[in-house]
Amino acid sequence: MEKLIDRFIKYVKIDSQSDPESNTTPSTEKQWNIARELVNDLKEIGMQDVEIDENGYVYATLPSNIDKEVPTIGFIAHYDTAPDYSAEHVNPQFFENYDGSDIVLNKEKGLVLSPDYFPELKKYIGQTIIHTDGNSLLGADDKAGVAEIMDAMDYLIQHPEIKHGKIRVGFNPDEEIGLGAHKFDVEKFGADWAYTMDGSTVGELEFENFNAAGAKVKIHGKSVHPGYAKNKMINSMLIAADFIKAFPANETPETTEGYEGFYHLHNMKGDVELTELDYIIRDHDRQKFEARKKFFQKVADDFNKKYGEGTVEVDIKDQYYNMREKIEPVMHVVDIVEESMQDLGIKPIIKAIRGGTDGAQLSFKGLPCPNVFAGGLNFHGPYEFVPVESMQKARDLIVKVAEKTAQKFGK
């Protein structure tokens, strides 16, 4: 596991945070640093057709080593990290042979990774835990996936006795801001199907995700001196408070699970004259998703009737859709992974993602792309960690999927 760990540590120490306010691709200049490092590493292990395009997308090929005609498969991971929390000066820590106790991340800040609060830790007793020092996120999302793909390709190159078809690898920027697949060149990639290595717990295999939309709301008021404001002032913040209350209190992220959808207010700012609200709208069911968007617009229309036309402006834009629609006609791409997991003694956990991945957008661009575990947990914050053994299992799974695809589809 030494190479795998070394790769992972090297990648997480490279700050590659994305920026939702940027209009460039990659959204941050610093993402180029890891992209170029990945190009060097791919060439060093012996991959072919290694290239990086003008948008920071990295592509490479592992040629087939059999005479039979086999479908070309791909493995994809994103190298950016979330803008939610600091990604500077990442300082990974190791807890070898984890004993089930509290892990003090940062004594000064009082940050403790405790199984009392994070009970999933107990699953990894006896394993090696890589965690943060409490001053940054770790970056296992998705540099664990990047390292696992890189290590799997290296392993296949070093073990030509494992027979496989042509394999394409893709590393992309800006997944964390919803743009990872936007400029991914599916035609150039040239795979029949692919897998994003971007899941969490060992065994996760996902081909369903939310239908997603973003809604930007502007609520206009009128500012008047408060001493003379009677019947004149219109306080946009108070209207915004009523607007927020118009949505079901039991349909928020903190009150839903499984296939239940929600409305999520994730940002707000305002004063008397203007209040801006940022929502995301989510549902696995396409009809319910469309109904949610219509309801959102109806709330705005009702407020305009009450307070005057133009008081509330709403801009709703679709972000991605449930990939199940594109995966179900080609379920063999899921079956191969499930069978490979079983061969490796991994219990498949097939469930819907309460979120989205690049795979969702890629599926709608013509590249069926389920999501597979990469091993990390507690993403996007100081409590993020990844068991080394989970990363190894993900690496082994990539190798097994490549081998099984050749066995099942070789002509």
Residue ranges covered by each domain of the chain? 2-209+322-409, 211-319
Q: Which residues pair with 251 in a beta bridge?
A: none
- Tell me the pLDDT tens digit for each residue of 155-197: 999 999 999 999 999 999 999 998 899 999 999 999 999 999 9
Active site residues: 80, 175
Residue 252: per-residue pLDDT: 97
CA torsion, ordered 186, 189, 195, 197, to nearest 10 deg: -110
Question: Count of alpha carbons within 13 Å of 120, Cβ hemisphere only?
Answer: 13
**Distance (Å, whole) CA 63 – CA 166:** 5
Residue type, position 115, single letter: P
State the amino acid at position 182 in one-letter form: H
Give the CATH architecture of domain 211-319. Answer: 2-Layer Sandwich (3.30)
pTM of the prediction?
Answer: 0.88
For 77, phi then psi, to 5°, come to -150, 155
What's residue 366's pLDDT?
95
Pair 129, 387: CB distance under 8 Å: yes
Indicate the CATH number of 2-209+322-409 among 3.40.50.300, 1.20.1050.10, 1.10.3210.50, 3.40.630.10: 3.40.630.10
Report pLDDT digits (tens) over 196-252.
Answer: 999 999 999 999 999 999 999 999 999 999 999 999 999 999 999 999 999 999 999
Q: Which residues of the chain have pLDDT under 70?
A: 411
What tokens were used for 108?
């000064």
Listed residue (230, 130, 247, 199) closest to 375, CA to CA: 199
Structure confidence at residue 32 (pLDDT): 98
